[in-house]
Amino acid sequence: MPATLLITGGAGFIGSHLADEALAGGDRVIVLDSLVTGHRANVPDGALFLERDLREPGLDEILRDERVDVVSHHAAQANVRVSVDHPLADAEGNVLAGLALIEACRRAGVRRLLFASSGGTVYGEQEAFPCDEGHPLRPLSPYGCSKLAIESYLGAYERLGDLEPIVLRYANVYGPRQDAKGEAGIVAILCEKFLAGERPKIYGDGRQTRDYVHVRDVAAVQRAVLDEWTPGTYNVGTGLETPLNEIYARIAEGLGQATAPDYRPPNAAELQRSSLDSSLLRRTFALPAWTALADGLAETVGWYRERARA
């Protein structure tokens, strides 16, 4: 059945793709975004747009008046380095705002809340590659701590019988529309630096690995979750590790660049390796195959190239 879906952060990178997919699937979509890092142009036609902060009063009235069935919570301060430099601001934007949303859902009787967590940070330095959801949780950054805090709140509200939450621990999501500034995605950063004629920086030796998942695949996960709601915590990743140096080389080749990276000292709280086992997700929901990295990067690089030309 079509649902009324409220997407927080729906004017951002991942959220706007989720809004597109939900509208295409026949759902009614409400986008709630403060536009601190999101962009109004990302909000698709057909979605109701509300510009507001989650901490503003009256959110429970909106949920009731709009008869929201499901909340997809993707609003966040998403930069690990910002969280290290400004941990209080990170907690205000992620923990306090997230708790305000949870409480609004409880008061409005909205039981289904999907939360975008971060598999790339909540596990910390991994012991197994790829790791499953049972891996120890040892975040190294305030950002990872904030994600884990909301996971804990959701677990408590579920045990109290107030919510039926789903937590999605994303790997490194990439694709068109990612903001190199507010969302700090390395693929977006490299594309924009190359296209601006600048020499991109790599912090560390470039051998650090990440699990790169295309935003289209994340949208497919949300569709599967909406179609067959099964509360739980799930990794969303390909299980494959790709070194940063390889990502750099692929993007440089795609843009016809030969500039060598400017290597700098590693950032604090940055993981050396990360990859996620999504077997539980695939056993629970029917999903298409992950987008191959070569195909996803080619599409993404092409999008940034066309945007630069425009």
| Strand 232-236 to 166-170 pairing | parallel
- Report which residue type is found at 171: A
Cite the active site residues.
143
Q: Which two tokens stand for residue 229?
A: 């709601």
Rounded to whole angstroms, how far apart are CA atoms 132 and 235?
Answer: 7
Distance CA 281, CA 132 (A): 10
Torsion of CA 84, 85, 87, 92, to 10 degrees: -120
Closest CA to 270 of 199, 192, 191, 205: 205
Q: What are phi and psi of 236, to 5 degrees?
A: -130, 95
CA 65 → CA 59, 68, 129, 210, 219, distances in Å? Answer: 10, 8, 46, 42, 26
For residues 37 and 185, is the Cβ–Cβ distance under 8 A?
A: no
269 Ramachandran zone, left/alpha/beta (phi>0; psi -120 to 50): left
Distance (Å, whole) CA 138 – CA 150: 15
DSSP string, 45-86: TTSEEEE--TTSTTHHHHHHHTT--EEEE------HHHHHH-
